[in-house]
Structure 1
């Protein structure tokens, strides 16, 4: 069968691999329908292996080359004899994290923090960029009838964004700053709007991404931090000049994190969602002076899938608005990875059609 496999830095190949030959009692055989290219995939392509395993993964046993794809929807082809939650023909959205279900963190509902955690499409034998894949029963979430295949594939990155918004304590009437308007930042904007935030400020240096956020029509102001003093602007446009209630950092850059700290009001909340690739110089004395809460997030709670799907199904969360490209697997390097990594490129989210 055809699969997209990652071998190493800038080495991704579309090739024939053996189809799954064995299915565990609690496993499900699925046919991927559509799969998003994630920022993690881009990091792997540009500088990996990073999280893809050079040696067998300690829990899953997976090792390079890795079939990519962890943001995907699929059709159930076969279910193991102990599986009761899904059946043949169901359309499902994949929650891709795999881990022991009985370790310290999983017993406390913190499955995503298990030190043994692996991920379908990154450290598991199978991934969403293939004709078939094997998953565990707990990875499959049946999609509502009115949620499309593409929306189903978008549940995974939306869960990342929703986790950040939850941790930022955003609610009806909140004022929010979002730094970084890549796919996660754009989804954070949509979620804050769905939650009823009264003012949504976005800071993003890339003109194409600013235009995309503008086209979504829900942000109060979209600022270029190279041309505008973001902190001054926010103080001028919030009640009594105090700043925003919450700031969600989605770029992974030191300057953006410090902007969030300066822009948030006293006793506000700053959430770090973007992944930093190096250490950042910060000012904890200012954190203390402002009595703010600093939160950091990793992945999402694995129980978030039904909630995200309900929000999408209701029409209140149009996650498809961030999709800008649709390609076939054979085009993944040039029209997928290289296009998304191009600083002047116009793509926000590229989906790979697997049907």
Structure 2
């Protein structure tokens, strides 16, 4: 079967590999779509910034490169291993791709998404979504209901990143939000905030095409922070009070510092994006308004369930920001995304 495999920095190849066979507790999937994620770009261009160690076998999966990519994916169950219950051949599913140890401090308190040895199917495992077939533990599978197709199913993972961020932020209906960055996660934040009853959302994005995309989805308050007056837009939207919760989906230090300065008293900044570079930041910015700053990572299984339910209710729309490529065009798509061209690219498997 064809598979997209990461070998080393800027070395990804489309290769023929053997089809996997499901072991006990596993399901074999015929993959449908797999999204190209910002994490894939980190792995491809700057693996040392990805938070993943490719120099030794993964402590949970034992995997090393070459690694089949694709951790945002959907598929159809075609075969079951011994001892699998609750899943049937023919089920259409999205995959919660997290491997966790179950014993570290994070796992013991239920924060398996921050496991000290965490891994992801399609980043540090034997297999991934950018192949014709893969096998995964059946416990990772989340069924897609009627009305949520495989294309939308491949978006559950990135939308769950945003959902988890909004859920963790503690924001309430009637409060105000700022989203810095209108890439796929920023758009996911927009959808999640609206689904949770947050009506006043200001979006900050320097890219004209991304501003147009999120505005086309219904965002009424979209500002170019490089040429527009973001502070004035926030003041007008909040009656001068400031933003209750800001989300950094940009991964840029300037966006973080700007967002902190726009927070209301007791406001909160949630860092969702990975930053390739550090930046200068004076913590005194947080002191006088008793504001706070926190980070979030990935998602929990309940975030997948919540996103799938919201998709079934029609709360997500792919118009204007999702496109598709074939397996042979993956490396070119990496380059386009790295240069800022394109939004969300799904690989047709």
Query: Pick from 305, 322, 343: which aligns with 1:348?
Result: 343
Higher mean alpha-carbon deviation, 230-239 vs 266-275, is at 230-239
Residue 333 (structure 1) aligns with: 331
Take 2:199 and 2:109, find their aligned partners in 1: how far apart are those partners? 35
2:51 is the counterpart of 1:45 = no
Q: For the structure 1 residues 47 and 286, does the alpha-carbon distance in structure 2 shift closer, same or farther, using more than 3 Å as the test?
A: closer
If the length of structure 2 is used for normalisation, what is the TM-score? 0.95
Give 3-state SS (helix, strand or coil) of 2:54's partner: coil
Residue 304 (structure 1) aligns with: 303
Higher mean alpha-carbon deviation, 7-16 vs 32-41, is at 7-16
Superposed, which structure 2 residues align to 1:221-232 within 5 Å?
221-232=221-232
Name structure 2 gaps, 5 residues minimum: none
1:52, 1:66 within 8 Å by CA — same for their partners in 2? no
Residue 20 (structure 2) aligns with: 20
Superposed, which structure 2 residues align to 1:206-355 within 5 Å?
206-217=207-218, 219-239=219-239, 241-318=240-317, 320-321=318-319, 323-334=321-332, 336-343=333-340, 345=341, 347-354=342-349
The alpha-carbon deviation at position 340 of structure 1 amounts to 1.3
Residue 138 (structure 1) aligns with: 139
Take 2:321 and 2:82, find their aligned partners in 1: how far apart are those partners? 37
The alpha-carbon deviation at position 280 of structure 1 amounts to 2.7
Take 1:75 and 1:59, find their aligned partners in 2: how far apart are those partners? 25
Take 1:101 and 1:144, find their aligned partners in 2: how far apart are those partners? 29
Take 1:87 and 1:278, find their aligned partners in 2: how far apart are those partners? 45
The alpha-carbon deviation at position 250 of structure 1 amounts to 0.6
Give 3-state SS (helix, strand or coil) of 1:100's partner: coil
The alpha-carbon deviation at position 286 of structure 1 amounts to 2.1
Residue 86 (structure 2) aligns with: 85
1:183, 1:322 within 8 Å by CA — same for their partners in 2? no
Count, aligned residues: 347
Take 1:321 and 1:149, find their aligned partners in 2: how far apart are those partners? 16
Take 2:134 and 2:153, find their aligned partners in 1: how far apart are those partners? 16
